[in-house]
A and B are shown apart, each in its own frame.
Chain A
Amino acid sequence: MNLGHDALVRPGLGQRSWQQKSNLGWLFCTACTTLLLSIPIITVLYSILLPRSEVWLHLRSTVLPDYILNSFVLAAGVCLGTCLLGITTAWLCSTCSFPGRRLFSWALLLPLAFPPYIIAYTYTGMLDFAGPVQTSIRNFFGWEYGDYWFPEIRSIGGAIVMISLVLYPYVYLLVRTAFSEQSASLREASHTLGTGVYKTFFTIILPLARPAIVAGLTLVVMETLADYGTVHYFSVPTFTTGIFRTWFGLGDRIAATQLASILLLCVFAVLLAERYSRKTVRYQNPTKTQKFRYYPLSTTKAILATGICCIPIFLGFIIPAFQLSIWAMHTASEMINMSFLVLIYNTVLLAVMVTMTVVIAATLLAYGKRVSTHFSIPYAVNLSATGYAVPGIIIAVGVLLPFAWLDNTLDTWLQQKFGISSGLILTGTLASLVFAHVVRFMAIGLNSVDASLAKIHRSIDDAAQLLGHKTFDRFASIHLPMIRSGIFTAALLVFVEVIKELPATLVLRPFDFNTLAVRTYELASDERLADAACSALLIVVISILPILVLNRSIAQAGVLHGSQA
């Protein structure tokens, strides 16, 4: 372990200024990108400074406490749910030997392909009071309403289960990676000293995986807080639904943005608390010295392990996918036509453009953070990655306002100067849509790239620097090849997210530009679940591919992201 590494490499004053000079170009780019990406977030945060309206007072005295409580319960519940599902399965798949382990290790990622709102629609269609399951029960036993108890799917509990079922793969993926990177010698030493499997797990394995768990949970919490589709469909009043209601119902966009900025501040608080709590602890794994042996399981335990891994796959993927397929078969002949192909094309086009931009920007920022010596850069970079926790619709407003302002200002200037009009160059184009997505999903890209960069020891940078390599050279010849798989992971995760994104697309898209998510939403929100099934299913299918590639690349590369996020 490299204890004391900090003291050795912290540059002295003279060295710092020399280093800074050589990084100047890079830092400039980082600062500019950060600034650009932060525009929407700053636009949102700025609203806090605006005067509180009458609507705000009304909110505070009536529904705000409910919003806070429900959002908190939801986030906490989803954390618990994703930990339970994610960590258990990660531990089984990375340390135990049981039938189907290899199959499970990738199949457990499949639920990630389901956007939360689609799984919510699907389960509601099945489990609702008037749905087929309860109707069959009533018909079979001759019961009526009130004669029996059945869990209410459209409740906060239901929302927690739905969101947990599709978000646990984040925890699973990062934690599994962390577990399999842990040195076997630690575990064996523990066993040699007479500690049992479970105690070893709770005292050594789990604490060592803490950064990965936290990284996974951070993504989960941010995504949960930003979720609108599920909570809206279930009528659970949370911050996000409150934001919509304040804007649309009460007609007060500013109060809505103020709500959003409170949400943002909460996320900042969580991020800072997390950062602070592990400030003093450094997590570095000793190099793997020996091949790890999987724990052999007795027959009963092996069956149990198989069963445990089956639960989330069945609930989070197979059952809803099966239901969607049944619906899709009924409606496919009507729904699949030329315009459906255009939907696919648009969706993929948008996803590719966003993915490329995020990957480039994330790499730039992550590396900028690494080479920066100014204290503000890491904060600025982190600020630009908070968009993930902001509901897409608020990001959309954060993009729309400054872009439209820019367009109109440019136009006025051109009119005065040349008497010509530029019209709207950015607003209502694919550019602003791509930008909004980049802001929204920067966190995913940055987390992955950052984590893989963090695994490269600083001494390598220092050595290269001493040998006279400039910042860019060091990056291109040393870091880039080493973080390739991290970048790849980032690209795939972002791609999947863009395919699923809805609210920002709705607001910002150009004329006649529909995506699969938009189509699904329009049909499903009109209670035409069966008609929505084709596009919903396709979102899932398109998302599966990158997920499978992702799993494969992780399994092969060995260089894994996430353990130090």
Chain B
Amino acid sequence: MNIQCLHKLQLGLALCACLSGSLLNAAEVNVYSARKEGLIKPLLQKFEEQTGTPVNLITGKADTLLQRIISEGVHSPADVLITIDAGRLYRAQQANVLQPIESAVLTNSVPKQYRDPNGYWFGLSVRARPIMYDLNRVRPEDLSTYERLGHPVWQKKICIRSSDNIYNQSLVASMLAHLGKESTLAWAKGLVDNFARPPQGGDRDQIRAVAAGQCDVAVANSYYLGKMLASKDPAQREAAEKVRIFWPNQENRGVHVNISGGAVTRFSKNKAHAIALLEFLVSDAAQQWYAETNFEYPVKPAIPASEILSTWGKFKADSLNLHLLGELNAKAVMIMDHAKWK
């Protein structure tokens, strides 16, 4: 290749660079979201309307999005990462792709236990994972704690989904944090012995199985029951009406909760807008939307839960610092492997 040719090539590359560079620098917020499109897009659109800042979205599994941010490095277009559990935010923080932010709005809105102590991430909604039971076959007096579900009295009576699921991994991680390894393993083994069927399906499937009589109790996230009760499908409503919620561990640590949360990435090109978006997501209107549409608990204590949720009563939530769930996630999976929880 002669020199002139080389120069031309360099010029071409430089032109490409300018083009792509200018595309990236426009004032817009790029969101990588583990929340499915249907549950985040409407809020993003409202943000666009209010602020005039365009928002671009990719959804996917949290770990693949995280991998993408890591690989993209300094040039990652991501400004905001949204996940559906605290563990993944912790993982992102560990991978050094988040930046701490200072925002009075966020700090004042989000209670301490639902945000990172150093401001790396903030909870946006709270999701509880209580016990659900069949209205006719189970007396709520017989239920007490998660631990008790490992007792042989519940043999062949429990439905819960696979250990691949992050909600179960977080639940076991919280047990690990409270009870330690030995007791958690013993509990997990007991629980597996009590399974009414091999783990399968999602949380709604567990609720349906309780309603259909395949098992007496299930462990599932509460908003699934809310969605079923509000469903247009009469079969779902009918099933959900046979099932009630029991808040376990109210005498001690409280029911296991997790958050969906957000963070600003380390190499965000639009930090100000990114923070504005997170602030918008904890605004009263957005919090209300979460509560009404997805039946999650608002992260802001002042916002009332939806009507259906209020009928389930108030509960004491586990105040465990949520970053521990991320820290213990791998250990939790190993315990589930040892307990042969499929």
Contacts and interface: CB of A to CB of B under 8 A. Distances in A.
Interface in B151-195: 161-164, 166, 169
A511 B30 contact: yes
Interface in A403-427: 403-405, 407-408, 410-411, 414, 417-418, 420-425, 427
Nearest to A396: B64
A456 interface: no
Interface string A117-135: 0000000100011101011
A248 B21 CA distance: 32
Interface stretch (B98-106, B301-309, B316-324, B333-341): B333-341
Contact of A423 (B20, B61, B68, B71): B20
Interface stretch (A205-213, A250-258, A306-314, A480-488): A250-258
Interface in A360-414: 393, 396-397, 400-401, 403-405, 407-408, 410-411, 414
A247 interface: yes
Interface of B: 10, 13-14, 16-18, 20-21, 24, 30, 36-38, 56-64, 67-68, 71-77, 91, 161-164, 166, 169, 197-205, 208-209, 211-214, 224, 233, 235, 239, 329-330, 333-334, 337-338, 342
Nearest to B94: A251
A144 B211 CA distance: 12
Given A235-B199, A418-B14, A522-B38, A530 B233 contact: yes
Interface in A213-255: 232-235, 237, 241, 244-245, 247-253
B324 to A, nearest CB: 14
Given A422-B13, A509-B58, A62 B330 contact: no
B77 A420 contact: no
B16 A400 contact: no
Contacts of B166: 248-249
B130 to A, nearest CB: 18
B202 A129 contact: no
A154 B214 contact: no
B211 A249 contact: no
Interface residues of A, number: 72
Interface of A: 55, 58, 62-63, 124, 128-130, 132, 134-135, 138, 144-145, 152, 154-155, 232-235, 237, 241, 244-245, 247-253, 393, 396-397, 400-401, 403-405, 407-408, 410-411, 414, 417-418, 420-425, 427-428, 506-514, 518-519, 522-523, 525-527, 530
Given A62-B337, A145-B214, A249-B164, A414 B329 contact: no
Contacts of B64: 393, 396, 506-507
B72 A253 contact: no
Q: What is the predominant secondary structure among interface residues of chain B facing chain A?
A: helix
Contacts of A235: 161-162, 164, 198-201, 342
Contact of B17 (A414, A512, A523): A414
A130 B200 CA distance: 13
A257 to B, nearest CB: 11
Contacts of B14: 414, 418, 420
Contacts of A393: 64
5 contacts: A55-B330, A248-B61, A411-B74, A420-B21, A510-B58
Nearest to A62: B337
Contact of B71 (A129, A247, A404): A404
A506 B24 CA distance: 22
A16 to B, nearest CB: 32
A184 B211 CA distance: 61
Contacts of B163: 249
Contact of A63 (B162, B233, B337): B337
Given A250-B329, A527-B224, 10 more contacts: A130-B214, A251-B329, A393-B64, A396-B64, A404-B73, A420-B18, A424-B77, A506-B60, A511-B56, A526-B202
B304 to A, nearest CB: 25
A138 B16 CA distance: 66
A404 B72 contact: yes
A428 B77 contact: yes
A405 to B, nearest CB: 8
A262 B325 CA distance: 31
B59 A522 contact: yes
Nearest to B169: A249
Contact of B337 (A58, A124, A396, A526): A58
Contacts of A408: 73-75
Given A235-B164, A249-B329, A404-B73, A425 B57 contact: no
Most chain B C-beta atoms within 10 Å of own C-beta, residue among A130, A237, A400, A506: A130
Given A418-B14, A421-B21, A507-B64, A130 B91 contact: no
